[in-house]
Amino acid sequence: MGVPAAMVTAGAASSITIATAACMTWDNLPAIDRLPDTTALKNEVVIQKGHLSHYEPQMLLTGAKLVWVETRAELDRAINPRTAMLFFLNRFEPLGQIKREEWIRVGKERGVPLFNDAAADVPPAARFSKYLHQGFDLVAFSGGKGLRGPQASGLLLGRPDLIAAGRRAISPAMGIGRAMKVGKEKIIGLLAAVERFLKLDHDAEWRTWETRVSEMLAQLADIPGMNARRDVAEIANHVPQLVLEWSEWHSKRSAEEVVKMLWEGDPRIAVLAEGQQGLRIMVWTLRDDEHRTVAKRIQEIFKDSRS
């Protein structure tokens, strides 16, 4: 993986809590046991308003205080002797005024640990080490999603001293992370997933995903009023995906209605609603010719275009 230190957590959200606790306490063992009491500790986490994600409670669990900023001037004023961590949500970089390079530079200049939530940001595998090389001190990844390991597992990667502090903040230690137990089955499962992921022919896998999208596009081309297109997200879930959109004039079915019909059919099919009348289909979670089954079921649902 090319990283200095790593630990298995109970998911990327768990990694947020453990990273926050580590940055607040470092090697202060009594302080780790005392959280969420932050008396005499650095307990402020600075986060951009554009990075609001509703994962903030994972930091608040530790007793942290969130300090919201929008501009570089606000960031400079926000950092003070009680600042424990700068939080960065990787996929929301385009939504924040302060971009990655400047955010990292300020953290380094002011001596504040930088955490990057990159939960859904592999593949490619190079990202395991890329964000640490950019200057982040801790980076979180989901053990599920792109790694396709145990769904309730995660990785926290980064500086050895902070990873050591993180290990003391999670089960089997007592304290703030005791409920985030990582069993031996989960550890071995994630280890196997990482080893498999690093050995994969990612170019070949990408070609497989492209083929699935192309075949589905061809299969759905005859649905009146259906706009089907290939999409690759820039950051999170950076893989070929299929996006379907339709107008109310062609079909009165809402996205939620179609999602429900696919889920309640046989076989059950899980897709994401995209707006009021659209779907996003993640072909990388499918196997063999399952993408054809998904396309066939969508054809059946839309066969009456005026439904």
DSSP count for the chain of H helices, then E strands: 11, 11
Residue 57 C-beta-side C-alpha neighbours within 13 Å: 1
How big is the chain by its Cα radius of gyration, in Å?
Answer: 22
Of 216, 228, 224, give the one whose Cα is nearest residue 304: 224
Neighbours of 107 (CB within 10 A): 23
pLDDT in tens, 16-41: 999 999 999 998 988 999 999 999 99
Tell me what pLDDT residue 48 has: 98
Structure tokens at 61: 């669990």
Over residues 257-281, mean pLDDT: 93
SS3 percent helix, strand, coil of the chain, rounded to 5, is 40, 20, 40
Of 94, 121, 95, 106, give the one whose Cα is nearest residue 15: 121
- Round to whole Å and give the CA distance between 221 and 156: 43
pLDDT in tens, 116-147: 999 998 888 899 999 999 999 999 999 998 88
Task: List all residues 6 or more positions away from 240 whose beta carbon is below 8 Å from its beta carbon.
Answer: 206, 209, 210, 212, 213, 230, 231, 232, 283, 284
The pLDDT confidence band at residue 74, using thresholds 50, 70 and 90, is very high
Query: Residue 74: which H helix or E strand, with range?
Result: helix 72-78
Tell me what pLDDT residue 297 has: 94
pLDDT in tens, 156-182: 999 999 999 999 999 988 889 999 999
Burial 67-105 (b: 16+ CB within 10 A, else e): bebeeeebbeeebeeebbbbbbbbbbbeebebebeebbe
Tell me what pLDDT residue 234 has: 80
Tell me what pLDDT residue 278 has: 94
Identify which has the larger pLDDT, 80 or 253.
Answer: 80
pLDDT in tens, 184-207: 999 999 999 999 999 989 999 999
Over residues 243-252, mean pLDDT: 85
